[in-house]
Amino acid sequence: MAGLRLLLVSTPLGPLGQGLGGGVELTLLGLLQGLAGRGHQLSLIAAEGSQLALPPGVELLLEPGLPQPSWQHQQRQGAIQIPAAGLLPRFWARALALQDQFDAVLNLGYDWLPFWLTPQFRPPLFHLVSMGSVAQAMDEVIEATAAAFPQRLAFHSAAQAADFHLLGPPRLLANGFDFSRYSFQAEPKSLLGWVGRIAPEKGLEDAAQAAAAWGWPLAVWGLLEDPAYGAAVEASVPAGTLQWRGFLATEQLQAELGQCAALLNTPKWNEAFGNVLVEAMACGVPVLAYRRGGPAELVDPGVSGALVEPDQVGALLEALPQVLALDRRACRSRAQERFSLEAFAERVEAWLLEPG
Ligand code: UDP
């Protein structure tokens, strides 16, 4: 099969490399690497100022503009906002202008405009949906796109897709990771870990409570999206419980994360996937997570971690001893079997090639 000419359009939340795009940033890099490895010709539209190590041969098309406000921090009934000088309209004006050079266009952003534009593109426009339901306007445009073009949407997990009224079974792609970027660490410290954007939907407060009760520090990596929330969590536990490590590039993140005895994952929302769970497992760090959303589909209880009743700090504490006793090498191996980059790229390619 000849390689496809593919145009990928990044999230307009801001320049890549600082964590503004959440898990989409790593997903995008994995997609580029996996699809380039399968012989496809790739171009990427992203924000000016993006810092990213692109695989060789990928064409980078940069656009200036204001960051797009993220849907998960707006009212459920919030209006659609498109800043006139924003990255979002600039990205899609560029994609429309260039469309005839491509066999397909792939949208990575969770925004109203690209879904609405689906019928306006001559090459098929595909959407990898990165969140569950967070706003009415997005539910409507996602569901309308799914009804008119059912093959054009894909999701990361069944729990995420179940947020939307779809007429047929959803296409589930999970996600893929380059395990060569994550080193296995056999000997952890007496340290618990937590990784994510520091924002209320991520539920850091529960992990902090659990760490305080267990008596080990909790290392926290991630973008401080909501400083007032971060300060409130800090104030809710004894001084020294939280170790703020900041937002790190993958190489440094995995080196530090691998020292943890376990990762706590305690989101309050219907997390679409949960990249950080697989990244921890890739280092040999088992995961103790709430049985909710995507994370519940990622942990293999008894092998790579444990799942407990959501919002129950006591349940986390009860399950922690068995998580700490797990075989760290088996944890990494299971994750590698399930979430390889190669298999993910194959699934994405099959999706893009399916007629219709
Ligand atoms: N991340 C990172 N460095 C950090 C902390 C987090 O690169 O110090 C990345 C991590 O690799 C993951 C993303 O931030 O890809 C968070 O994604 P996740 O899917 O867990 O949640 P989201 O932010 O999309 O809700």
Angle (CA) 63 68 69, round 5°: 165
The CA 15 to ligand 1 mean position distance, Å, reads: 15
Q: Residue 343: what pLDDT?
A: 97
Q: Residue 144: what pLDDT?
A: 98
The ligand 1 atom nearest the CA atom of 25: 15
- On the CB side of 348, CA atoms within 13 Å amount to 34
Per residue in 252-278, pLDDT (tens digit) is 999 999 999 999 999 999 999 999 999
Tell me which of 25, 279, 299 to substitute to probe ligand 1's pocket, judged by most ligand atoms within 8 Å of the beta carbon: 25
**Ligand 1 and 197: CB distance under 6 A:** yes
Q: Do residues 164 and 142 lie in contact, with contact meaning Cβ atoms separated by under 8 Å?
A: yes
Q: Do residues 164 and 139 lie in contact, with contact meaning Cβ atoms separated by under 8 Å?
A: yes
Q: Tell me the three state secondary structure of residue 187.
A: coil
**Which residue has its alpha carbon closest to ligand 1 atom 18?**
23
**Ligand 1 and 23: CB distance under 6 A:** yes
Domains 5-176+340-353 and 179-338 fall in the same CATH topology: yes
Q: Residue 129: what pLDDT?
A: 98
**5-176+340-353 carries CATH number 3.40.50.2000:** yes
The CA 246 to ligand 1 mean position distance, Å, reads: 12
Q: Residue 1: what pLDDT?
A: 63
**Ligand 1 and 253: CB distance under 6 A:** yes
The ligand 1 atom nearest the CA atom of 273: 19
The ligand 1 atom nearest the CA atom of 277: 20
> Is the whole-model pTM more than 0.95?
yes
CA distance 70 to 300: 31
Rounded mean pLDDT for each run of 10 residues along the chain, 356 residues in total: 92 96 96 97 98 94 97 95 97 98 98 98 98 98 98 98 97 98 98 97 98 98 97 98 97 98 98 98 98 98 98 98 98 98 98 89
Q: Do residues 165 and 140 lie in contact, with contact meaning Cβ atoms separated by under 8 Å?
A: no
The ligand 1 atom nearest the CA atom of 276: 20
- E strands, 130-231, are 153-154, 192-195, 218-221
CA distance 299 to 288: 8
Question: Rg of the chain over CA atoms, in angstroms?
Answer: 20
Q: Tell me the three state secondary structure of residue 44.
A: strand
Per residue in 277-334, pLDDT (tens digit) is 999 999 999 999 999 999 999 999 999 999 999 999 999 999 999 999 999 999 999 9
Angle (CA) 221 65 95, round 5°: 100
Domain ranges of the chain: 5-176+340-353, 179-338
Question: 179-338: what fold?
Answer: Rossmann fold (3.40.50)
| Residues in Cβ contact with 306 at an 8 Å cutoff, skipping those fewer than 6 apart | 286, 287, 288, 289, 299, 319, 322, 323
Q: Residue 56: what pLDDT?
A: 93
Helix (H) or strand (E) holding 245: strand 242-246
The ligand 1 atom nearest the CA atom of 201: 25
